[in-house]
Structure 1
Amino acid sequence: MPTSLFRAVCVIALALASLHATATPAIEVLGEDFSFPNKVEGLPAKLSDFKGLEINTFVTNDGVKLSYWEAGQGRPLIFIPGWSANGAEYINVIYLLSEHYRVYVLDPRNQGFSQRVEHGTRISRFAMDLKEFSDRLGLQSADYCGWSMGASVLWSYIDLFGTRNIHKVVFVDEPISIYSHADWSEQERSEAGGMTTAPERMIAAFTAGVPTNRLIVDMTAMERYTAKDSPYFVNSEAFANAFVKNDPEYLAMVLFDHATNDWRDVIRHKIDVPTAIFTGEYSNNLPSQRWMQSAIPGAKLFVYSKADQGDHFLMFKNPVKFAADLHGFLADDPI
C-alpha cells in the first residue's frame, strides 16, 4: 500500500475511533430515565427502552458547542429541526427510523442542548453549522430532512454549497417566504406562503405572546400546536419539556432573518436531487408546497389529511405514517 494511502486510511480510522470513543448514551447525558405519559404499541415506554440512543457534541469554527442526537445503523439520515425545536421532540421519529438508518438530529445553536450565543444568529450561519456537522461526520452522501425553519436552513445550505453531498432531500411544511411583501399579488403570496405582513409583530407574538390577528400573522400553526390531540405528540412534547429549557431571548435572535428570506430562486434553480415535500390539509402552507412541487423537477408531494394529523406538526403527531412514508421515499432508488 502506498505511504500516502496508508496515512489516509489511518487518519480515517482514527477519526472513526474518536467518534466512537466520545459517543455518550442519552440517559447518561440527561442524568435520569423518563417514562412517557402514554403507552403506545411499537414505541418505548421509557427512555431506557431505547437502546443505542446517544447525545453527542462538536464545536463549530466560530466556537459554538452544538449537540446532536443519533441512533441506528445504515445510510445516514440527518434531520434539521424547526425554530425553537430540538432532538428530544424527534424521539419517536428517531426510534422508528433507526431500524433502517443512522439517524442524526442536530440541535441548532440557541436550541435544545446546543450553546446559547449572540453571534451567528442567521440562517446562513445555521447552514454553515450543518455543513460543518456533515464534514465532522465525514459524510460523502446523506439524506437530509428539514422541518419548518429546518427547511430554510437546507435551502441556504443548497444555495451556498450545492447538492453534491445530498443523496435525497425532504422539506416538511415550510413557507418559501414567511414575509408577505406589500406589492405581491395574491397568487405570489399564495405560492410563496407569506404568513406575516410585519415580521417584528410576528416575533413578538411567537416569543412573548403579544396579541395579534390574522391580518398581521397567520397563527394556524401555533393553534395546531396547542391541540394535544395525538398520544405520540403528547409523549414527545412531555419528554422535550422535561429536559430542554429554551430561552425566548435567544430564540428570537434568528427570527427576523428567518422571516425575511425569500427562497424561491433556490427552489427554481438549485435543487437537482430527488425531493419529497410533506404538508397537510390543516396547514395554510399547502398552496406554497404545491408550488414548490411544480418548481422542482420530479418532486413528490405528500399531503396528509386532517384524519392523518395533517398540520405543521404532522411528523410528530403521526410519526408511524411519517416514518413509513419517508422510508418509502428514501428507499425507492431506481435501478
Structure 2
Amino acid sequence: MRRIMLATIALFSLMATISAARSAERWAELPAFPSMPTPNASGMAPVNDIKMYYAEYGQGDPILFIHGGLGNADVWGNQIKDFARDHLVIVADSRGHGRSTRSEQPFGYDLMTSDYVALLDYLKLDKVTLVGWSDGGIIGIDMAMTHPEKLKQVVAQAANVTTDGVKSDVMNNATFSNYINVAGEQYKKLSPTPTEYDAFVNQISAMWASQPAWTASDLSKITVPVTLAIGDHDEAVKLDHTEMMAKEIPGAKLVILKDASHFAMLQDPEGYDAMIRNAMSGKQ
C-alpha cells in the first residue's frame, strides 16, 4: 500500500511539473497589450459608411499594420516602437472594432478591404507594405487580389483563405478564450458603442461562418510579393492550410514562428519584428 501511495504521489508530482512547464511556455501565454507611444497624428477618417480610427507614427516608407478579429490597433504597440524609428507606421481599428464605428451593413472581407483602401486614399498614401494578423492578414490577401496597386508587399500572419483552414477546437483553447475576454474588456473601454460587444460579435461571426472562400485559381492571380507566417503552436489556423496557401500564391514565402502561437506579435516581439524586416528586405 505504501508503495502504491508513493507511486501515486510521484505521478501527481510529475503531472504538476508538466502542467507548470506547459503554463510557462510563452506560446501558451497571452501577454498584455503594450502601451502605445504618442502618434504624430490620429483621427476618425470618414470611409464608406463608417468612421475609422487611425494613427500615424514616425516617418519613412509606409507600413500599414492591420489587427485581427475582435481586437484593435493597440496590439501593435511593440511593432510601432520598433518600426517608427525608420518608417511611417499606420495603424487603424477595423470596422466595428476598437474606436471605429460600424453600420448595419453585413461584415465582409471585401467591405473591410475597401475600408482600408479608402483610408489609404484619405491619408494620400499610394503604396504601402501591409502587415496583417489573422483577419488583418486575410484583408491583406484580399487587397493583393483586388487592389494590388496599393501594395508593395504583404506579410500575413495566421491568415486563412477558406473556413476549413480554421481549427475546429479553437474555441476550447484557454489562450484563445482569454483573448476573447480581453478583447471584450477593451471594446468596453474604446468603442463608441461600449455595451454592444455581443451584438458586434454576432455580426462579425456571421462573416466568419462563410468567409473567406477563395479558390486556388483566385490565389494564383496574386502578383504582389507575399510572406505567410504562422506560429508553430497556432491555436486557430492549421499549418497545412498555411502551407497550401504558400504553394498556391505565386512566389509566396512561408515562415514558421518558433515557440509562438496566434498571438506571436505579443509573445515574441523581437522575433516577429525581425521576421517582418527580413520579409521586407527579401531575406526570407
2:92 match: 106
The percent identity for this pair of structures is 23
Distance 1:53 1:282 in 2: 36
**Is 2:272 the partner of 1:319?**
no
**Is 2:200 the partner of 1:250?**
yes
Q: Provide closer, same or farther for how the CA distance between residues 294 and 278 of structure 1 changes in structure 2, counting only shifts above 3 A.
A: same
Letter in 2 for 1:286: L
The CA deviation string for residues 252-308 of structure 1, in whole angstroms up to 9 with x for no partner, is 2122223312123465322212111110211252111111111222222110122xx
Aligned length: 243
The CA deviation string for residues 101-136 of structure 1, in whole angstroms up to 9 with x for no partner, is 111112111101001322252222111101101111
**Is 2:56 the partner of 1:56?**
no
Which 5+ residue runs of structure 2 have no aligned equivalent?
1-30
TM alignment of 1:1-335, pairs within 5 A? 50-52=37-39, 54-62=41-49, 64-161=50-147, 163-178=148-163, 180=164, 193-196=165-168, 214=169, 218-219=170-171, 222-225=173-176, 243-245=189-191, 247-261=197-211, 262-265=213-216, 268-283=219-234, 284-306=237-259, 310-332=260-282
1:153 CA drift (Å)? 2.0
Quick check: 2:230–2:256 contact (8 Å CA) kept in 1?
A: yes
SS at structure 1 position matched to 2:209: helix
Q: Provide closer, same or farther for how the CA distance between residues 60 and 277 of structure 1 changes in structure 2, counting only shifts above 3 A.
A: same
Q: Provide closer, same or farther for how the CA distance between residues 61 and 171 of structure 1 changes in structure 2, counting only shifts above 3 A.
A: same
Quick check: 2:141–2:154 contact (8 Å CA) kept in 1?
A: no
Quick check: 1:87–1:112 contact (8 Å CA) kept in 2?
A: yes
The CA deviation string for residues 150-177 of structure 1, in whole angstroms up to 9 with x for no partner, is 122223333333x122101111112221
Q: Cα RMSD (Å) of the superposition?
A: 2.9
Quick check: 2:73–2:91 contact (8 Å CA) kept in 1?
A: yes
Q: Provide closer, same or farther for how the CA distance between residues 55 and 254 of structure 1 changes in structure 2, counting only shifts above 3 A.
A: same
Distance 2:282 2:127 in 1: 16
The CA deviation string for residues 13-40 of structure 1, in whole angstroms up to 9 with x for no partner, is xxxxxxxxxxxxxxxxxxxxxxxxx9xx
Which 5+ residue runs of structure 1 have no aligned equivalent?
1-37, 39-43, 181-192, 197-213, 229-235
Q: Provide closer, same or farther for how the CA distance between residues 252 and 101 of structure 1 changes in structure 2, counting only shifts above 3 A.
A: farther
SS at structure 1 position matched to 2:230: strand
TM-score after normalising by structure 1 = 0.64
TM-score after normalising by structure 2 = 0.75
